[in-house]
Structure 1
Amino acid sequence: MTDFKYENVWRPALLTSVAIPFVGLVVMFFAISTNTTWTTLTDVLRRATIGWLFATGSSVQQDGVTIGVIPIGFVAMWGMATYMFAHWAVRNDDVDFRAFGAVVAGFSALIAATLSIIVSNDDVAVPVFRAAFQAFLVPGISAAFAASHRAERTWLSLPERFRPAAEGAAATLMLFFSLSTVILVVLLATSLDESAHLWATLHPEGTGLGLALLLILAVPTAAFWVSAVLLGVPVNLGGSSYVSLAVTDVEIMPAFPIFTAIPNPGPHAHWVFFLTFIPILCGAFGGFVFRRLTHQNIPWKRCLQHSAGLGAAAGLVAGILIWTSTGGLGTGRLQSVGPPVFLTGVIAVVVFTLGAVLGASITHYRLTREPQRF
């Protein structure tokens, strides 16, 4: 077993914690200075800092309005960049991934909290706690995984007997959100003419690089809305507008191309009902993956326990991810959008657990009865 040295943690952790926000602020500074009107250097620096804090998951409060939806596309890029840089930073050090992740999380939270205090005033405020919490969570987890993988440890040194269940939970989530994204892409493709017309209206000169970037990074949030609908939960689009598997009831939406994916108002076709089987089939797939990765002679009771655990874990993670797509998008009726958080999480846990138990049970039966044919 590798003898990790805790004193080696500080240098790469501090480097990771400082480098990623610095690069992000530089990119945001360039984007804002070239695409907006500003008066002083202090003004553009403040805007860039607020933009960076919002892009990394913090909410922004202005004139009594809170924009709280987490831009999960930006957050995913942030986590990926942190992972890659941390993986490079520990290349010459034997570090304990737990200590490394904790130190990166602490430094990142301190930096985010300090920046939020500096840029907040009576006009625009960035809540300190949320900025610090997001900066604690995302870089900390990304850095811990990077150090763990650098040390050739999978699943953060999770005990061997639980790794098949972890693989099954990951398979469930990957399949579920991949199918949600495919459905979103199909909806966007069917409304391509409307999207093109809207794009031409917003940018008649043919440019719009910033809008294109925002559209791409908004796809994960929209995909999470599709995921909630697949779980049978209505997604609130502000005011009395909502989308569910049964019906769409919407008012006039803001001029943003991704909103063209919203189905036409009115009841949906009867075949849409079959989409409700997607979550339970994804859970069953996770159960299948789990059982195929375990020893052939595991007891039936252990198979049920671990499959139920992986389904519940996948449902909990799905609920947390879908929660990031809720909050405020602007003023008026857009102050609260997204699916109900608690209901979404409960349904995800129940459905994925049932699916995982079903998939693992069928696979267990086939493996024990006909191992040579399965």
Structure 2
Amino acid sequence: MPAPVETSYLRPAFLTAIVAAIVSWAAAAVVVVVASGTSGLSVGPLARTAIRTWLVALGSGIDAGPVSIGLLPLGGTVLCTALVARAAAWVVADPLDELAAFAAASAGAFGAIAAIASAATNVGDVHTSVVRSAATGFVVGGLGAAWGSVQRHHDGERWWFTAPAEARTVVRAAVPGLLTVLAAAAVLVVVLLVTNVRQAGDLWALLDPGFGGGIALAIGSLLAVPTLVLWTASALVGPGFAIGSGTSVDLTGSQLGQVPGFPLLAALPTPGEFPGWVFVLGLVPLLAGIVSGWRIEPGEREGLVPRLALGAAAGALAGLVLGVLVGLSGGAIGPGRLTDAGPPPLTPLLVAVPVMALGGALGTVLSHYRGARANRPPDTSSRGRPRLWKRHEPAGADRRVGGS
């Protein structure tokens, strides 16, 4: 009789998914109770609302009569991923040999829990997407489990998907390029928020959310910051973004009508044409690609052409990830004209990849000639006029003797 197959990763994987789901539901329930201003809600409606809140934060979207919200709240998705990672770091006490299998099993279990929760709470006119719940739950569960294992055991090197050193070099060089664009977009968002802080305060006062509603609104605003950063990154790349049909914000100007009364949207620029110098911001993706290419060290490959390919690949990979993130950040935020909000789904990807690949190639060229100059042996010849340091050198004993 054959021996049973070892599946030591299944128990921690299922336990990770269950613990993460329970903690997420509890956190969502606290937010619901605080936002409602009372703790006297019956268990059924409270549990249903908390689970729906978690699913929306996960990225399921929600339909409530004529109102449809399909926007992926990236801040909420990152928070859910962090909760899964925390659960994995707590559950996986000992290093696992089947790391990829553990992440895959956690992803499947968490996605199944999200799909079941969505189907169970789809009653009345309020519905969340079962398919989107399963898909986003799968991604969040897998990434969170891998992240938690790396946090607990510091074994990130074991998670590399490929052995060739060139692939690892490209991935490592792409990260700073991606972060450069996101950092520039974040700085712009902060500057615009500080500039329009009075308008944000007026929107807050107009909503008059109260104490509990204010806490919920503040949490929602914080979770919406990554989405606004990605929209700003889309403007830096070129395509820009929209807040409703017939509106647009890009480096040429802002054409906006009525926008939702959300305090964070006070960071939107004033409608009108921008000054000419704003076009300089369009160089940010190219400069980010140069940062990626610069990170290709001279010793990675012999010769300029092979290293040029690595630099271009690093910039293209950074542009690919940026384009995917920006494309996922759009979606419906309400009925009517608000069914079209955020960047276009494909254009940022088509622009970011070639621009940042070009920047990666330029950065590699700069890095190559920097390394060539650094490795050039110093000129020690004594031809020509004596160096300044020799002419002003203090007289030695031999000079004093010869001159006496």
TM-score normalised per structure 1: 0.92
Secondary structure of the structure 2 residue equivalent to 1:255: coil
Picking from 184, 188, 193, the partner of 1:179 is 184
AA paired with 1:334? L
Percent of aligned positions that are identical: 31
Q: Larger radius of gyration, structure 1 or 2?
A: 2
Count of aligned residue pairs for this structure pair: 367
Does 2:159 correspond to 1:153? no
Distance in 2 between residues matched to 1:204 and 1:51, nearest whole Å: 18
Does 2:136 correspond to 1:134? yes
C-alpha spacing 1:162/1:300, structure 2 compared with 1 (3 Å)? same
Q: Is the 8 A contact 1:95 1:147 kept in 2?
A: no
Range that drifts further, 94-103 or 301-310:
301-310
Does 2:351 correspond to 1:347? yes
Distance in 2 between residues matched to 1:239 and 1:72, nearest whole Å: 22
Secondary structure of the structure 2 residue equivalent to 1:66: strand
- 1:86 maps to 88
- The CA deviation string for residues 8-59 of structure 1, in whole angstroms up to 9 with x for no partner, is 2112111110111111111112221332278632122111111110101111
- 1:53 maps to 55
AA paired with 2:187? V
Distance in 1 between residues matched to 2:6 and 2:355, nearest whole Å: 42
Secondary structure of the structure 2 residue equivalent to 1:243: strand
AA paired with 2:228? A
TM-score normalised per structure 2: 0.85
Range that drifts further, 176-185 or 8-17:
8-17
- The CA deviation string for residues 56-107 of structure 1, in whole angstroms up to 9 with x for no partner, is 1111122254311111111111112222331332222423221011000110
Does 2:22 correspond to 1:22? yes
Distance in 2 between residues matched to 1:75 and 1:331, nearest whole Å: 23
Distance in 2 between residues matched to 1:115 and 1:199, nearest whole Å: 33
AA paired with 2:181? F
- The CA deviation string for residues 227-263 of structure 1, in whole angstroms up to 9 with x for no partner, is 0000111311102121111011111212111111111
Distance in 2 between residues matched to 1:155 and 1:348, nearest whole Å: 30
AA paired with 2:201? A
Secondary structure of the structure 2 residue equivalent to 1:330: coil
C-alpha spacing 1:45/1:101, structure 2 compared with 1 (3 Å)? same
Q: Is the 8 A contact 1:6 1:99 kept in 2?
A: no
Picking from 287, 290, 294, the partner of 1:281 is 287
Does 2:225 correspond to 1:219? yes
C-alpha spacing 1:270/1:156, structure 2 compared with 1 (3 Å)? same
Cα shift at 1:200: 2.6
Alignment of 1:178-327 (within 5 A): 178-203=183-208, 208-289=214-295, 291-292=296-297, 295=299, 298-327=302-331
- 2:334 maps to 330
Root mean square deviation, CA, Å: 2.1
Range that drifts further, 298-307 or 173-182:
298-307
